[in-house]
Amino acid sequence: MTEKRVVVAMSGGVDSSVAAAILKEQGYQVIGITMQIWPPDRKDSSGGCCGVGAIEDAKRVAYKLGIPHYVMNFRDIFAQTVIADFCQEYSLGRTPNPCIRCNQYIKFDVLLSRARELDADFIATGHYGRVEHSSDGYRLLKGVDPTKDQSYFLYILGQRELQHLLLPIGNFHKTKVRKIAAELGLPTATSHDSQDICFIPGGDYRAFITEHIPTPAGDIVDARGNILGRHRGLARYTVGQRQGLGLASDRRLYVLRLDAGSNRLVVGTEGQLLSDRLIASQLNWISGKAPGELTGIATKVRYGSPEVAIKLSLNNGSAEVYFLKPQRAIAPGQAVVFYQGETVLGGGIIEASEPA
């Protein structure tokens, strides 16, 4: 029987390195590919996922494993689908998640298509999640390590992608992954986990945004519209932010809302940050259809937030989410992801929320 061929998206980190190692050990014909997504005029592209340093690390791992490794130039498509959207969303007073956008348009669209052109049966990544095949189709499950589970970023997948996707480290805890890397002598065994947006090393997204879109100053107002001060451009602020407002007040004030239409930054107390309902659009259901049973569903409103119980109502392609316990600092533009036990049902983009 011909061995199955798999393209592994190698970011230069320990997770994708171990994913490639596991698949080779399992008998797959493994091809390592690193996506080149950095703008060509970038002066510092040594850090972060898919930068020059990451490409070199991936090459060293591939050499150690004895597998071929290639670099594919995705700069233009990345700029058009991820960076442009990132800037556009901030210009509209929203908070985007570029990692989800990258998964949707780069890894599991363009890269998957390239992999199929190479006659690969599968694409694999170092995400902490699991794919399960049953009589009803393919399911996406959480990774077994609750501290590293990345299924939130994969809610945009569907049956087409899942049938060609392998997630080799989803059944491991991070400590085990690092142990495997050390035992194999992989050069990425002690590499740091990436925390920054890949195209903004150092995490200073405000500086990046101000280089790419206009950020005019405007009024800071309270929930009643009273002017309290001036902001330096809405893109410099996020919902829930307290520091850097430049306001003199006897109360702690937080960003409640970014009103792009009037270029106003709305602030209020911590209690005003709580919401008991949100509306989401651009829904994606991993099974290909909305769930028939809407009980026992929980959600996350951002990657780092805890999973919370909800009541879910679906209507004409949008979702109304009612929280059994009010949630803090819900930001339009972020993803809301729905779970039923270990299964990821799908998700959507937050459009608005209502105060508790």
Q: Which residues are catalytic?
A: 102, 198
Across the beta sheet with 122-124, what order do the strands follow?
69-73, 29-36, 5-9, 122-124, 165-166
Is-contact 336 300, C-beta < 8 A?
yes
Query: For the chain, first and last CA: distance in Å?
Result: 60
List beta partners, residue 265: 220, 258
Task: State the residue for tokens 């409640």.
Answer: 256
For residue 64, CA distances in Å to 57, 58, 78, 188 come to: 11, 10, 29, 11
Which string of DSSP letters, residue by residue, matches 273-306?
GEEEEEEEEEEEETTSS--S--SS-EEESSTTSP
Say how far residue 68 (Cα) sits from the centre of its chain: 28
List Cβ neighbours of 150 (8 Å cut-off, separation of 6 or more). 127, 128, 129, 143
Angle at 239 between CA 260 and CA 331, to 5 degrees: 80
Closest-CA residue to 319 (of 278, 351, 280, 292): 280
Spatial neighbors of 254 by CB under 8 A, at least 6 apart, are 240, 241, 242, 267, 268, 269, 270, 272, 273, 329
Which stretch of DSSP H or E encloses residue 24?
A: helix 14-25
If you ran DSSP here, which 8-state letter would residue 311 be given?
E
Exposed e or buried b for every residue in 72-89, given b needs 16+ CB within 10 A?
eebbeebeebbbeebbeb
